[in-house]
Structure 1
Amino acid sequence: MTTVEKQLLASPKRTWYYLTIAVILILLIGWSAMAVTFKDVNQSGLKIAGNIIRGIIHPDWHLLFNGTKQSVPFLLLQTVAIAFLGTIVGAIVSIPLAFLAASNIVPKPISWLTRLLLIIIRTIPALVYGLMFIRVSGPGPFAGVLTIGITSIGMLAKLYVDAIEELDTRVLESMTSIGCTTFEKVRYGIIPQLMSVFMSVTIYRFDMNMREASILGLVGAGGIGAPLIFAMNGYKWNQVGSILIGLVILILIIELLSNKLRSKLIKG
């Protein structure tokens, strides 16, 4: 008998533990399945589902390729702009908040209060922010940029804090010992350690914001979402197909590019 086999035989038996976990999971799955009902699925719903599929198979090619402001390319470009500007706003605001929330940089009471603020920001859904900003600035892309910006802060600041708290302080100590100024320590000691992590996280958030920007259009915050809901309400399934095709292609392209950029930053 090998050493590995002896160790396996000598390990404590946890049969009842695993059995209890399995029973709990089965009960939770069964309880959750009770909320699923098919009573509202009727012939009309199945017909609408078929119309949606036919619309995707036979899209409105004119809407997909013309150059007007109502075309899919223009609306997708607007969605990208909303997501990009919102991500930049969120990233810029997140940096000072992240340093204020880092317990190894500021006193713990300040860190705790800043973290509490970030938790509150993350708690509120993006659609709620969208409805709030629409009331403030009116419907349109600007409301979408503000919404994307504030929803990005919660996630970006949290991940920035994790990166700041994992800083190699030995570098800063050595720079202090040779008489470096605070600016030099920030410029040559902190920024090089954080830049690649910050950029990677920001790119990942932009990828997420593309999907959120599409959804925010449903409440009037600009982008491709508003024409999509109008087309669905008007049963114009060929237009719905065109918009969905354009959206899927755009998301795939952005995801491929963001993955390549993030992998280069991580390797670099």
Structure 2
Amino acid sequence: MKNISNLPIFHRYPWVIPLIIAISMIGVYIWALQGLNVDFKLIKDSLPFIADFISRLFPPDFTVMDIAVKALIETVQMSVWGTSIGAILSLPIAVASANNLAPLWLRWIANLLQNAVRSVPSIILGLIFVAATGLGAPAGTLALSIYTIGYLAKFYQQAMESVDHRSLESLQVIGASKIQIAQYGILPQILPLGLGYTLWMFEYNIRAASVLGVVGAGGIGFQLKSYIDGFEYTKATTMMLVLLVVVTFIDWFSSKLRRYLEKM
């Protein structure tokens, strides 16, 4: 019979590891809260001001509905093109980043590129392209394209790395070329997942496009900022309500489509 006293402490007391993890997490949250310097009394005293600002947002002014719809269409157009361009540019970067497809030196460069793109906030990208192309939707579309690369390239990379290695080895055994391996071994496995990621990014870019409008990159965000700067809060509420309806519909539609793709 095995002597229990000779076993490592973590085997003798299996509750030790969960306890250490729990204590560590509590410590991290306490450390983070201290760094925030939250003044709970100030938050309590500011509640009337928050309520006053929210009350100014209502009732919505639907006389600007035509402007809201036009700005929303521009936002969707920005997202369609930004997501599409970003998705196309993400594919070669994802291939160069995948552990099972690219050599180490190429993966290092591709991953560094991904990290560099993700480290730049969308607002900064918007400002860069506004300076390059001027105010309007083209700047927002280009900013969304670059912003999309940082995320879709990573998503595509993870999808490629999750491919069943046995199917690739089977193709290699029968003498398939690299193009045939990609066509018959990798693409069928990653296509549903990749399309699902792309739909999610399109949905996210609708929101991101509205944020980019704050720096003059077109879309509904530009109108929203204009109304807030002019203290026309009820008109700004109409913009937010229109955006809410469209984002909710896109979320519902993309969820249905993703589930269909997953079944495939």
Q: TM-score range by the shorter chain?
A: 0.7 to 0.9
CA gap of 1:170–1:23, structure 2 versus 1, over 3 A, is closer
Matches for 1:64-83 after TM superposition, within 5 Å: 64=65, 66=66, 71-83=67-79
Cross-structure match for 2:34: 31
Q: Which amino acid is 1:233 matched to?
A: D
Distance 1:75 1:41 in 2: 37
Aligned to 1:258: 254
2:232 is equivalent to residue 231 of structure 1: no
The letter of the residue matching 2:131 is R
CA, structure 1 residues 220+30, in 2 after alignment: closer, same or farther (shift >3 Å)?
Answer: closer
Change (3 A) 1:13 1:202: closer
Stretches of structure 1 lacking an aligned partner (at least 5 in a row): 1-9
CA distance in 2, matches of 1:176, 1:18: 44
Specify whether residues 37 and 223 from structure 1 end up closer, same or farther in structure 2 by C-alpha distance, changes over 3 A only. Answer: farther
Give me the whole-angstrom Cα distance separating, in 1, the residues matched to 2:189 and 2:19.
Answer: 47
Q: Secondary structure at the match of 1:103?
A: coil
Pick which of 21-30 and 89-98 moved more.
21-30
Residue by residue over 1:10-53, the C-alpha shift from the partner in whole angstroms, topping out at 9 and shown as x without a partner, is 7444396367436514632541452447659988x956753543
Equivalent residue number for residue 94 of structure 2: 98
Cα 1:114–1:30 change in 2 (3 A) is: closer
Q: Measured at CA, do residues 206 and 21 of structure 1 come closer, stay the same or move farther in structure 2, by a change above 3 Å? A: same
User: Which amino acid in 1 is paired with 2:37?
Assistant: M
- The residue number in structure 1 matching 2:64 is 63
Q: How does 1:155-170 map to 2 (within 5 A)?
A: 155-170=151-166
Q: Unaligned stretches of 5+ in structure 2? A: 1-11
1:53 pairs with 2:55:
yes
Describe the superposition over 1:181-223 as per-residue Cα deviations: whole angstroms up to 9, x where unpaired: 4443332222111111110111111111111001000000010
Q: Distance in 2 between matches of 1:254 and 1:144?
A: 20
* Residue pairs, 1:130-169, within 5 angstroms: 130-169=126-165
Runs of 4+ aligned structure 1 residues displaced above 6 Å come to 40-43
Q: Is the 8 A contact 1:52 1:237 kept in 2?
A: no
- What is the number of equivalent residue pairs in this alignment? 252
Equivalent pair of 1:52/1:241 in contact (CA under 8 Å)? no
2: distance between equivalents of 1:140 and 1:16? 54
Instruction: Judge which range, 16-25 or 258-267, deviates more.
Output: 16-25
* Partner SS state of residue 156, structure 1: helix
Taking a change above 3 Å as real, the CA distance of residues 19 and 219 of structure 1, as seen in their structure-2 partners, is closer
Please state how far the C-alpha of 1:90 moved relative to its aligned partner: 0.6
Provide the TM-score with structure 2 as the length reference: 0.85
Could you tell me how far 1:117 is from its partner in structure 2?
A: 1.0
How far apart are the structure 1 equivalents of 2:217 and 2:110?
28
Query: Structure 1 CA distance, aligned partners of 2:29 and 2:230?
Result: 42
Q: How far apart are the structure 2 equivalents of 1:191 and 1:205? A: 20
CA distance in 2, matches of 1:212, 1:184: 38
TM-score norm. by structure 1 comes to: 0.84
Partner of 1:246: 242
SS at match of 1:59: coil
